[in-house]
Structure formats: structure tokens, C-alpha cells
Structure 1
């Protein structure tokens, strides 16, 4: 009887150990409290202890202490990363730790299209509610159009700084590759002229031709007569939403190239890489004039007489469309 009792007690102990081990292991590799795909943010500089507390507070694990103990025994020593992660439904504590150590941080994007003026870059960044903090309206022409990734909670100032650094880096790379005898002799003027090219044509194949035309006008001391330079002082580059008035064409200011010779005092938008490249390597052309051709592009002319004929064709197209 005594022997049987001893065996029974030992079996109970062994069973208890097995149950305890199973419980301990399932607490690491078993399903956690992640009931559906859930985004989880690891703050910058957070420790594993603070992250475990945060996981428990958000109901994603049962116990921070249990998570930390199991992580010490079963987990790797790799550091956790800051950022936002997606934890899949049913993720085990083991998988949660692995995701925070080596998973992909969720990246989001804000896009600055070519030719977006700085006031609209500002509005786009301020409207992104996953970013934080205030920014001023960036200097016109200081932002390189592109798509930029960001993390939830990142500051708008940090994202804007990347946009502006990208422009500086591109200009530093592109300027030394410029053609000889171009119309501008410094990077600032190149960006100003590129901003006019950007606003004057949305047709990629025309950029170098438009750049060549305006380069000729700059070299000849002609009025540039670029309509977007009339609009910029009125709207800061936003669409005017109506036809330009005669009084606005005649207005005297630092931007209106119908009333002043040379370049405006600053860019009228944020030009993209291709428009900047076009100014730095413009087409070899005799063209001094251009007008819309009805297809989305332009008809180019060397002389005023030729240009006037192109204008007449454009007016006829507009009359047929009922626009005049």
C-alpha cells in the first residue's frame, strides 16, 4: 500500500510538471490575445519592459511579467525596433516578439507631384493626420517632387526636411552635369527657370524644347511672357480658376514676366527632376514662341509671323470647341 501510494504521488507530481510545462510553453507559442490584425506602435527608445507593459495594457498579451520571463528564456537577444507593426490575428507571444525585432515597419507615403507649389505641399502635410507638429510653408522650389514614406507619429518637420534634402542632393548631382553656355549661371536661377518650364508644359517630351525656347528668350533679353508667372503672386501657385485679366497681365511685380525682363525673383512652383534636367540641357532650337496646339502640347515658332499663324490656328480650334 505504501509503495503504491508513493508511485501515485510521483505520478501526480510528474503530471503536474507536465501540465505546468505545457502551460508555460503554450504561454509562449500558443495563441495570444490578438483577436484580429492589429497595429502596434513601439515608441522610439522604448525598452522591452515598457513594450511588454504596453502590450498588456492594449490586451495583446495576458501578462507583461510572463511575456518578459518567456522572452528571456526562449527569445533571441535582438533589440526591438521602433515604429508601427501589424500583429496578425492569433499571433503568439513568440511571434509578437519576432515581429517587433525583425518585422517590417509599416510605412506610409505622402506624394508631392511635379509642379505642386509650396502652399499646397504645406496643406498636404498638414492634412496628414498621422503626422505630428507644425511646419511653415516651405520656401518655393525647395521641395523635390516625389513620394516620401513616413511612420505614424513622425513629425511633419522631419518629412519636410527629407523632401528638401532630396532637392539639395539632386541639384548637387545635376548641376555639375549641365551643358555649356546654358542660360543660367547658378543653381537658384536654374530652379526658377525650371519652375516655369514645369508649369508651362505637362507633356514630358516637350520639356527640353520649352526649356530651349525660354533659354533663348533669357539670352536675348526678351520678355519671357510666361502666364504662370502672372498667376503666382495672386494665388501662390494654386489654380486661378478663371481667365487672366488684362489688369493682371499689366501688373508690375517681381514675378510677372509680361511686365519685366528676365527671370522672376524666385521659383513659381517646385519643379521635378525632368524639368530641372531640361533647363540644364535644353534642346538646341531657334524657337522663341509657342502656343497651345489643341492636343495638349504646343506649336513652336522661330518668328513672330509664324507664331501669329499658330495662334490663329489655336483660336480656330477654340471657336470650334465653343470656347470663344
Structure 2
């Protein structure tokens, strides 16, 4: 009898082991299998959260088939203590295993809110954007002037949200004074900039920052980036250019930057100024005169006066020969490369095609041809004035 009971018990135990093994294999397959999501979602993991809350959120959004299997799988993979707060893009059909990896690997949030502090040539603005998971693109939800007396109340909510990312976007052609002044308005940064950076030394680009970053440290990042760009362009420069040093090339690049916003035109504009230098002609460019007046402290806000065009200053290229003593703005990579690899041309003049700067310029090899282009531009000005 006891032998029969023992035999039955053993059989029952074997069946249980097989059943458990089958369930385990099924659960492992479920954990690694393609998930039920039909479209990407943005999953927010709050500080102090745990896998139970995350699994409930994922189940509620239809991203996983079983919260229990998700939690057990994460525990089996020894990931439960690695959960990171943030906002994460969960792609469609993501498996539970892939989602576990997404929320535990750390690093920057991959969706949610992004606050961009844009420093432009004529204005600065703060943009708050949120990623639309369905299209994988950021959509603007708030925009305002950082210097305004009243900052939108919603900004504080966005700024303090878990996973919010912050970027400083520096436009080509801004001056160092503008950069320092606008960074003072960026309230997620700390510290002072003790000394105004040399003009031209800051690389226009987008810089990711975190709350509490030091302003002086960010300036140093911008300077290091510009040094790398300039050194690389100088090493790959064309032969026979009229620059004795990389700094002179940087000055030329800043002039090119201020004369055109069209990327395709920069090598041609650079060729005009290089041709002028090589022929001993004056550069005769308004942006340098303007910089001599403003010292880079914001736009002039009016047209140049004849007296200003005749006045001798280190930056009045209608009067002085050669380059001004320093750059007149912070040029971007494209303008630096154009200054060091200008187009081959015989052009020595150019003037805007239309009243819209986006339409580019007419170039000329002779003064007669240039005068015709200028006359055409003046007619457009007169037509607009009479409308």
C-alpha cells in the first residue's frame, strides 16, 4: 500500500514539475514575445516609483499582456532595482523584455517634454515642446519671451515635470554679448560668466543641459567646440588664402555669416571678399561698420548714416584696408568652412536680389554690372515704398 502511495505521489510530483516547467517556459516566451501595442506610447516613470506601479500603467495603456509576468521577468533578470525615473518612448509591439531594458538602462529621457532656450540674432525665446509618440515628432505647446515680466504659469509645471530635457540653441551670427546676456535669463542654469568671451569663439549649436549646470561651464563647452571646428577647417583649408592665422579666417567667417543666411551662397560670398583682399580692395561691408557702432550689444535697429560710413573706426571696412581686428559675431561651421574653402570665382561685388533676404544675392565681376544690379534693387525698394 505504501509503495502504491509513494508511486502515486512521485507521479504527481513529476507531473507538477512538468507543469511548472511548462508554465515557466510559457512565461519566458510571453516575456520575450512581441507586445500588443498598436502605436508607440510615452511612459512616464516618476521618482520613487516601482515595477508594480509601472506594470499597472503599462497594462492600463495596453502595452503588456500581464503585469505579473512583467514583474517576474524583471525580477528574474535582476532589473527591479535598476528602475530609472524619466519619460520613455515605448515603440509599438515592444516586448516586456524590451520595455524592461528601456526603463532600466538610464540616460536621457526619450520622450515627454523638452524646453528649448533659443538665442537668436534679433530675439530670444523659450519653446516648450512635447513628443507626439504617434509620429515621433516634437510639437510646440508653449512659447514666450524669457525677458517678459510675466512668465506663463504652465512653464513651471513643464520645467519641474519628471524627464523634462533642457537645451540651449545658439543661432549662427549671434554675438558673444548676446549669448552671455541671454544665458542670464535661463533659470535652470547657475553661476556667473566673469568675462565676456572673445567674439567668434562660441560655436553656434544645440547644447543639452541639466538643472543646476554652470553658465561658465556651458560657455567653455561652446568655446571648446568652436576650437575643434576651426582647427579642423584650418587643417583642410584651400591653398593661397589671404589669411595669416586661423583667427583671421574666423574673422572672415563672421563677415560671411552676417552677409548671408543662405548656406549655398556662403562659398560665393566668401569668394567675393577673398578676391577683394587679393586685389587690395576694401571689403566695404555694412555688418562690420554696424559692429563698430554697437560692439555687438544687440541690433542697430536702423539704417547706417552716411557719417557713420565715412567715420574711420577699426571696423569700418569702407575706410580701412583688410580685415577688422576681430570677428563681428560667432560664425557657424558652414561659414568657417566657406571662408577656408571659398568658391572659385571672379566676383568682386554682390547685392540682394529682392527685399527678402532668403532670395539671395546677384553677383557681379564688374562695377557696371554691379550698378545695374543695385539699380534693380533700388527699383524694388521704391515700388514697395509706393504701395
Fold similarity call, TM over 0.5: yes
Helix, strand or coil at the partner of 2:184: helix
Please name the residue that 2:306 is paired with: 246
Asked if the contact 1:111–1:146 (Cα under 8 Å) also holds between the matched residues in 2, the reply is yes
Please name the residue that 1:283 is paired with: 343
* 1:119 pairs with one of 165, 171, 177: 177
Asked if the contact 2:200–2:331 (Cα under 8 Å) also holds between the matched residues in 1, the reply is yes
Greater shift, 115-124 or 275-284, is seen at 115-124
Please name the residue that 1:132 is paired with: 190
Residues 152 and 253 (structure 1), Cα distance of their counterparts in 2 relative to 1, 3 Å cut: same
As a proportion of its length, which structure holds more strand?
A: 2
Residues 283 and 196 (structure 1), Cα distance of their counterparts in 2 relative to 1, 3 Å cut: same
Q: Aligned Cα RMSD in Å?
A: 3.0
Asked if the contact 2:79–2:104 (Cα under 8 Å) also holds between the matched residues in 1, the reply is no
- Distance, in Å, in 2 between the alignment partners of 1:199 and 1:323 is 29
- Distance, in Å, in 1 between the alignment partners of 2:257 and 2:105 is 44
- Distance, in Å, in 1 between the alignment partners of 2:277 and 2:380 is 30
Please name the residue that 1:219 is paired with: 278
Give the TM-score of the pair, scaled to structure 2.
Answer: 0.59
As a proportion of its length, which structure holds more helix?
A: 1
Residues 276 and 39 (structure 1), Cα distance of their counterparts in 2 relative to 1, 3 Å cut: farther
Question: What are the within-5 Å matches in structure 2 for residues 283-322 of structure 1?
Answer: 283-294=343-354, 295=356, 296-322=359-385
- Distance, in Å, in 2 between the alignment partners of 1:304 and 1:177 is 33
Helix, strand or coil at the partner of 1:181: coil
Give the TM-score of the pair, scaled to structure 1.
Answer: 0.69
Report how far residue 99 of structure 1 moved.
6.8
Deviations 1:104-132 (A, max 9, x none): 36541001111111111112211110000
Deviations 1:102-160 (A, max 9, x none): 35365410011111111111122111100000013221000011000111001011111
- Distance, in Å, in 1 between the alignment partners of 2:78 and 2:329 is 52
Q: Which runs of 5+ in 1 are unaligned?
A: 1-36, 41-54, 56-73, 89-97
Please name the residue that 1:168 is paired with: 227
- Distance, in Å, in 1 between the alignment partners of 2:286 and 2:306 is 12
Residues 323 and 298 (structure 1), Cα distance of their counterparts in 2 relative to 1, 3 Å cut: farther
Deviations 1:175-227 (A, max 9, x none): 11101112213100000000000000111111000000000111111110110
Please name the residue that 2:106 is paired with: 102
Asked if the contact 1:143–1:270 (Cα under 8 Å) also holds between the matched residues in 2, the reply is yes
Helix, strand or coil at the partner of 1:110: strand
Residues 220 and 151 (structure 1), Cα distance of their counterparts in 2 relative to 1, 3 Å cut: same
Report how far residue 274 of structure 1 moved.
0.5
Asked if the contact 1:211–1:278 (Cα under 8 Å) also holds between the matched residues in 2, the reply is yes
- Distance, in Å, in 1 between the alignment partners of 2:248 and 2:302 is 29
Question: What are the within-5 Å matches in structure 2 for residues 60-209 of structure 1?
Answer: 85-86=85-86, 102=106, 104=108, 106=163, 107-135=165-193, 136-209=195-268
- Distance, in Å, in 2 between the alignment partners of 1:275 and 1:218 is 17
Please name the residue that 1:270 is paired with: 330
Greater relative contact order structure (CA < 8 Å, 6+ sep): 1
Residues 78 and 225 (structure 1), Cα distance of their counterparts in 2 relative to 1, 3 Å cut: farther
Residues 218 and 174 (structure 1), Cα distance of their counterparts in 2 relative to 1, 3 Å cut: same
Report how far residue 312 of structure 1 moved.
0.8
Number of residue pairs matched by the alignment: 249
Helix, strand or coil at the partner of 1:148: strand
Asked if the contact 1:175–1:187 (Cα under 8 Å) also holds between the matched residues in 2, the reply is yes
- Distance, in Å, in 1 between the alignment partners of 2:350 and 2:81 is 62
Asked if the contact 2:172–2:204 (Cα under 8 Å) also holds between the matched residues in 1, the reply is yes
